Amino acid sequence: MVTRKEVALQAGVSESTVTRVMNGGYVSPSVREKVAKVIEEMNYRPNLFAQGLRTKRTYQIACIVPSIDNPFYGEVMQGIEEVAIEHGYVLSMYSSRVVNKSPGRSFFSGRNDAVILLSPGESRGWLLRDLWEAHMPLATFWDWETEAPSPSVSVDLRIGMQAAVEHLVSLGHRDIGYIGYMNPARAETDRNPRLTGFKESMAAHGLRTHPDQFQYTADRGSLDAGYHGVEELVGKFPGLSAIVTSNDLLAFGAIRWLEEHGIHVPEDISVVGCDDIAYSALSNPPLTTIAIPKREVGNHLMNLVLSLIESRKSHHDGSEHIQVPIELVVRSSTAVKRTNTE
Amino acid sequence: MVTRKEVALQAGVSESTVTRVMNGGYVSPSVREKVAKVIEEMNYRPNLFAQGLRTKRTYQIACIVPSIDNPFYGEVMQGIEEVAIEHGYVLSMYSSRVVNKSPGRSFFSGRNDAVILLSPGESRGWLLRDLWEAHMPLATFWDWETEAPSPSVSVDLRIGMQAAVEHLVSLGHRDIGYIGYMNPARAETDRNPRLTGFKESMAAHGLRTHPDQFQYTADRGSLDAGYHGVEELVGKFPGLSAIVTSNDLLAFGAIRWLEEHGIHVPEDISVVGCDDIAYSALSNPPLTTIAIPKREVGNHLMNLVLSLIESRKSHHDGSEHIQVPIELVVRSSTAVKRTNTE
DNA sequence: GAACGATATGAATTCGAAATCATAAATGCC
DNA sequence: GGCATTTATGATTTCGAATTCATATCGTTC
């Protein structure tokens, strides 16, 4: 690898001058041109380690996602990327699985200028604390209104769930089931805005709910979970005319099982999902779902982190919180409740 | 950030000794224990830049993917990750969109120990060359048998396409359409194993093909492309009884359009996809598709890169090529050709 | 034309760890 | 018990750039 020293030698100037040509400073036009030419010819590229050692800047920001093959997070990351690139930053993504298993705990530190945590609940408990203690600039994304210590972007799924339930009720549904992800380490309603929102809305409409109407899965965002989830659900509570799921993937899995068993969506049972991933608009049937503006969320996150870096602060003071509004997108997986004889 | 110097001071030893405690070397048990304790207490973590500057190792490997929200690549990356983590490496992912737009061209260099390129064709031409010239350890994934200069993993889609066509022909189909991604910068059959394989197989079965049977899209892996693709295709070639698409996403989009227009899959038209992404098994209908063992591909890629790093070689000599076998998975989007009156 | 500020360049120091070199104490060997 | 090894530790150099410090030249200005 060619170093600054070699460039200086070749151009017949001091190393300092090479630096000035690269980073600005007093250099006469003639010298500047000469040196620039040599740099180009030798294809000189400053060593990031040396640079980073001095400046403490990497221009790389880390994004930790629960799972890389979940399209929801993919779309959020697109949004992050857009802004990152605009500002000359590189985005590096790590899955929290890896982060959790990683031997050196806070390995981002020193390697990234900041980190963005998507759904921090999925990462081991110490992660947030570690980052905090390391004074690492940090922004987080949550799916509930939060008192997060770091700047954050959030989305109020409770409101989303209200809209979903309202929509179903307006179609005449009263026996509505729920299939949702639930972190096994947590209590039922502890920080589970989807579930909480669902229950609240049901109550608000005067609809009693029975425990059998709920089906939980520990497998976030898996199709299989949805597939087997409905199976159990309709088994223990056969009277359902509609189902709400805590994400689109679950909904797809559920629809599949239903179709395989001759139960048609939406004719026999209505299904509403949550997230509105790209596929949802073109699935069969197109899914009624709670739409989260993923790209926008990503944009906000990156901007938050950017301003932290610029101001050289970490998160230890008045944090900014941005709440992104969401809305129900009605498509074809929901319909008026059937009233014919059973 | 606490440095080695401070630790040394606190523990009453020299900096060298601290290093020895951390990285191995002659240290008496008593001193080792004492220093280790101080390290723990002060939560000392070596500076990656200083470390990297000296050792030229980052323990981070870069993976460049055409688009992060494509589940296909997500699954490959899972496979890469599995192996990476086992060996203490961190995986950082970059989308080629970003890489292409990035100002500093070879920004991985110095930041990553190696790079894995998925579908290099999607990245700007200079990328491969740049990495090559920088002697960066490199492994690539291609969807055709290749004479790639770097160690590589590939998959022979021509064989996959043969299986697909054979399957359809055995079901009685003769008028088979094709919807596929095509890099606009390339000639029709230039390095397009899917298309080539399709044409060859058709010919092998004595089936003539008309240009109108083909529909190309410049939008790799998009649902919309599939949606609008079939529309055009059936418009210009109405007699089709089956369609082959170059990836599952296109297939889903196509199925959606067909269903919306009262054309049922597989009763009226059979559809086969390619990739077998997670969703395909539970889509509606479950998709017949050419299955690529994505996780396995990822494992191989990481192993290749690992051995390059270990042997401190880049790719400039006898490169290893691994061809991963693929097979057609028959599900419910294909059926015997309808023979009733039209 | 002496003095001052702006322009232009080179030399020395610094970042934090690893690697090399140097030295001291403990141990083994004949 | 003297000398060669091991064992154990400290001092010095090095990695490659940024930053600070020092110096030299050129214009202005009065």
Which candidate in A126, A279, A287, A297 is best for mutational testing of the B interface (most B CBs within 10 A)? A279
Q: Which residues contact B247 (CB under 8 A, 6 or more apart)?
A: B72, B181, B220, B221, B273, B274, B275
**pLDDT score, position A146:** 63
Cβ–Cβ < 8 Å for A67, A95 = yes
CA atoms within 13 A on the CB side of A208: 1
Domains A4-46 and A60-155+293-325 share a fold: no
Q: Phi and psi of A324, rounded to 5°?
A: -95, 125
Residues on chain A touching B78 (C-beta within 8 angstroms): 68-69, 95
Rounded Cα gap, residues A258 and A243, in angstroms: 11
Positive or negative: CA dihedral A21, A24, A25, A27: positive
Residues 52-71 of A with CB under 7 A from strand D: 53-55
- Neighbouring-strand partners of residue A93: A63
| Residue of A92, A106, A223 with shortest CB distance to B278 | A223
- Neighbouring-strand partners of residue B64: B94, B117
Rounded Cα gap, residues A304 and A306, in angstroms: 5
Residues 6-35 of A with CB under 7 A from strand D: 15-16, 19, 22-23
**pLDDT score, position B1:** 77
CATH class given for the domain over B157-292 = alpha beta
**pLDDT score, position B232:** 96
Tokens representing residue A307 in the block: 């301003």
Cβ–Cβ < 8 Å for B338, B241 = yes
User: Residue A302 in 3-state DSSP?
Assistant: helix
Tokens representing residue A8 in the block: 């200086």
What is the CATH architecture assignment of B60-155+293-325?
Answer: 3-Layer(aba) Sandwich (3.40)
User: Residue A316 in 3-state DSSP?
Assistant: coil
Cβ–Cβ < 8 Å for B236, B196 = no
* Pairing relationship of beta strands B288-291 and B327-329 according to DSSP bridges: antiparallel
- Residue whose entry in the numeric block shows the structure tokens 């990462």: A123
Rounded Cα gap, residues B315 and B312, in angstroms: 10
pLDDT in tens, A34-43: 999 999 999 8
Rounded Cα gap, residues A94 and A65, in angstroms: 6
Q: Phi and psi of B279, rounded to 5°?
A: -65, -25
- List the domain boundaries for chain B: 4-46, 60-155+293-325, 157-292
**pLDDT score, position A105:** 46
B90 and A102: CB-CB below 8 Å?
A: yes
Residues on chain A touching B110 (C-beta within 8 angstroms): 1, 45, 47-49
Long-range contacts of B28-34 (CB under 8 A, 24+ apart): none
Got the DSSP string for A4-67? HHHHHHHHTS-HHHHHHHHH--S--HHHHHHHHHHHHHHT----HHHHHHHH----EEEEEES-
pLDDT in tens, chain B (342 residues): 789 999 999 999 999 999 999 998 899 999 999 999 999 999 898 888 899 999 988 888 899 988 887 889 989 999 999 898 888 788 888 888 777 766 544 566 678 889 999 987 766 667 777 777 777 888 999 877 666 778 999 999 999 999 999 999 999 999 999 999 887 776 666 678 899 999 999 999 999 899 999 999 987 667 889 999 999 999 999 999 999 999 999 999 999 999 999 999 999 999 999 999 988 998 989 999 999 999 999 999 999 999 988 886 655 456 788 999 999 999 999 999 987 644
**pLDDT score, position B105:** 46
Percent of chain B scoring above 70 in pLDDT: 90
Rounded Cα gap, residues A205 and A203, in angstroms: 5
**pLDDT score, position A318:** 60
Cβ–Cβ < 8 Å for B190, B287 = no
Cβ–Cβ < 8 Å for B69, A278 = yes
**pLDDT score, position B312:** 66
Residues 24-63 of B with CB under 7 A from strand C: 44-47, 49-51, 53-55
For residue A341, the distance in angstroms to the closest alpha carbon of chain B comes to 27
Rounded Cα gap, residues A226 and A246, in angstroms: 10
Rounded Cα gap, residues A181 and A222, in angstroms: 9
For residue B79, the distance in angstroms to the closest alpha carbon of chain A comes to 11
pLDDT under 50: residue ranges of chain A: 104-105, 316, 341-342
**pLDDT score, position B57:** 87
Q: Which residues contact A15 (CB under 8 A, 6 or more apart)?
A: A4, A5, A8
How many other C-beta atoms are found inside a 10 Å radius of the C-beta of residue B23? 9
| CATH number listed for the domain at residues A4-46 | 1.10.260.40
Quick one: which residue's CA is nearest to C6's C1'? Answer: A26
Q: Which of B39, B89, B133 is nearest to A111 (CA)?
A: B89
**Which amino acid is located at B169 in the chain?**
V
Rounded Cα gap, residues B286 and B256, in angstroms: 13
**pLDDT score, position B340:** 61
A339 touches strand C (CB under 7 A): no
Query: Residue B188 gets which letter from DSSP?
Result: T
Rounded Cα gap, residues B210 and A305, in angstroms: 54
**pLDDT score, position A311:** 79
Cβ–Cβ < 8 Å for B180, B245 = yes
Average pLDDT, chain A: 87
Rounded Cα gap, residues A227 and B64, in angstroms: 33
* Distinct helix (H) and strand (E) counts, chain A: 12, 12
